[in-house]
Amino acid sequence: MSCTEQGDAGKFLERLLEEFLNPLGTEDPLPVTPLSRKVTMQEVKGESLDLGLRLLSARNAPSWLGAAMCNAAVTELLEDDLSPHYCPKDPEQQPEDEQEAVLLQSEPLQRLFINKLREVCLAWQKQLPSPMSSSSRTHSCSVHAIRNTRRKMEDRHIILREFNQLLGLQDGVDREYYAVFDGHGGVDAATYVATHLHIILSQQEALKSDAATAFKSTFTQTDDMFKIKAKRERLRSGSTGVAALLTSDRLTVSWLGDSQAVLVRQGEPVTLMDPHKPEREDEKKRIEDLGGCIAFMGCWRVNGTYAVSRAIGDFDQKPYVSNEADCSSIQLNGHEDYILLACDGFFDVVRPGDVPELVLEALRETGGSGDDVAQALVAHAKAAGSSDNITVLLVFLKDPQQLLTYETSSRAEPEGATAAATGI
């Protein structure tokens, strides 16, 4: 750890302890609102890490330190006896619901988690664990999201540069995780998958050897978990999504529905995926083979309802709306410029092939600063007629200033620029 990192960490820990002089008592209000009132044991880790990251980032914690602190605190939390926080059993619960019986009250549980964070802070103020530092690779990001003309904002996105530190992976492989989720019929499904998908992914045995297979199992398991919550709380929402796991030499992308990812290499788009839409021939056949249909009602819809053919949630139309994700994995050769993830509010009006020129145009306007590129792309999509929620997330794999050297007339054709997505 560098002296600068150690100094920044020490100052932050000191400030945090000044705010939390004493542990939270049973009647003290929480400084951050939990996502849920009740959670299952499977959901404790995701909900706690979400709350912890929100609490620490709002206080400007160094991201690597916040991730490590949250991991240490949630590890201690899960080693405790949590039975005092169990909710009283519902006397009307049916025998078939026994698997759903154990619920915990979020508010007292999160007080305990915050007190665990405080204990970690006290211990680390005396001595930071070693080794502890940020990832050896730092990729700058640009992200922007707008509600647009819709009544509610139902998109969610997540950026985890410290995937390993947050989730306790220690295999020497740096991992970064990025995702965009596009909710419909409410924000519950998008919020749920943004909170839990990366947790489930980190627990997959296949992650270290086959990230694509791990992703596929992860989406299915996350949907199964959300189904229990949706039944319990009478939720009807759904969410498409696209998630990317980045290591030093490989990019793995997984998706459900029509959110998309585009990789750009030496100024040229690389084909990673084919979004799931009801009108896609193989999707139409899959739905019809199950006894369903697609109908045009302003756009193509599954059984005349949802305009997506694969999603988390939408349980009233399962299995026609599938929870089986597709995945692609591509070897990185060092010539990649960036990866862009966005919802259909962007891609309904922007072709993937137009992305490189739009990014270049935005970089020219900012003199090579990548900070506001996503904002420029969202503004372009809105001006082009998109009325949907719009989220755009760019992860720069090169210095944005360097990308200005690519001009349309002089772009070299990179080897493998049309690499097809590999369905796993």
Residue 244 structure tokens: 């990317």
Span 364-407, pLDDT tens digits: 998 889 999 999 999 999 999 999 999 999 999 999 999 987 65
Res 301 pLDDT > 70: yes
Q: Are residues 311 and 376 in the same domain?
A: yes
CB 200, CB 221: distance < 8 Å: yes
DSSP state of 409: G
CATH number for position 151? 3.60.40.10
Q: To the nearest whole percent, how much of the chain has pLDDT over 90?
A: 84
pLDDT of residue 1: 65
pLDDT of residue 374: 98
Residue 152 structure tokens: 């509610």
CB 258, CB 245: distance < 8 Å: no
Question: How many structural domains does the chain have?
Answer: 2
Q: Are residues 120 and 169 in the same domain?
A: no
* Residue whose entry in the numeric block shows the structure tokens 């929100």: 54
Span 217-263, pLDDT tens digits: 999 999 999 999 999 999 999 999 999 999 999 999 999 999 999 99
pLDDT of residue 136: 56
Residue 110 belongs to some domain of the structure: yes
pLDDT of residue 89: 77
pLDDT of residue 182: 98
pLDDT of residue 298: 87
Q: Are residues 113 and 149 in the same domain?
A: no
Window from 27-41, 84-98, 155-169 with minimum mean pLDDT: 84-98
Res 60 pLDDT > 70: yes
**Which of 358, 369, 395 minimizes the C-alpha distance to 140?**
395
Range of the domain at 162: 141-410
pLDDT of residue 390: 98
Q: Are residues 17 and 119 in the same domain?
A: yes
Residue 10 belongs to some domain of the structure: yes
Residue 286 belongs to some domain of the structure: yes
Q: Are residues 173 and 266 in the same domain?
A: yes
Amino acid at site 328: S
Q: Are residues 309 and 169 in the same domain?
A: yes
pLDDT of residue 38: 96
Res 132 pLDDT > 80: no
Residue 235 belongs to some domain of the structure: yes
Span 82-114, pLDDT tens digits: 999 999 876 655 545 545 568 999 999 999 999
Residue 420 belongs to some domain of the structure: no
Q: b/e per residue, 250-278, with b = 16+ CB within 10 A?
A: ebbbbbbbbbbbbbbbbbbbbbbbbbbbb
- How far apart are the C-alpha atoms of 60 and 54, rounded to whole Å? 10
Q: Are residues 108 and 164 in the same domain?
A: no
DSSP state of 153: -
Residue 274 belongs to some domain of the structure: yes
Mean pLDDT, all residues of the chain: 91
Q: Are residues 74 and 191 in the same domain?
A: no
Q: Are residues 195 and 57 in the same domain?
A: no
Res 57 pLDDT > 50: yes
pLDDT of residue 128: 87
Res 134 pLDDT > 60: no
Residues 6 or more apart in contact with residue 358 via CB below 8 angstroms: 350, 376, 377, 380
pLDDT of residue 106: 97
Show the DSSP H helices in 203-301 as ranges.
211-233, 281-289
Torsion, Cα of 356, 359, 364, 369 (10° steps): -130
pLDDT of residue 131: 63
Residue 423 belongs to some domain of the structure: no
Instruction: Give just the sign of the alpha carbon dihedral 211, 213, 219, 224.
Output: negative
Instruction: Please report, for residues 117, 194, 303, 350, the alpha-carbon distance to residue 316 in angstroms, rounded to integers and kept in the order given.
Output: 40, 22, 11, 31
Q: Are residues 112 and 221 in the same domain?
A: no
CB 359, CB 325: distance < 8 Å: no
Res 24 pLDDT > 60: yes
Span 264-291, pLDDT tens digits: 999 999 989 999 999 999 999 999 999 9
CATH number for position 63? 1.10.1740
Q: Are residues 330 and 398 in the same domain?
A: yes
Residue 243 belongs to some domain of the structure: yes
* Residue whose entry in the numeric block shows the structure tokens 């049973």: 26
Q: Are residues 258 and 402 in the same domain?
A: yes
Res 26 pLDDT > 50: yes
Q: To the nearest whole percent, how much of the chain has pLDDT over 70?
A: 91
What is the number of H-type helices and E-type strands within the chain?
Answer: 12, 15
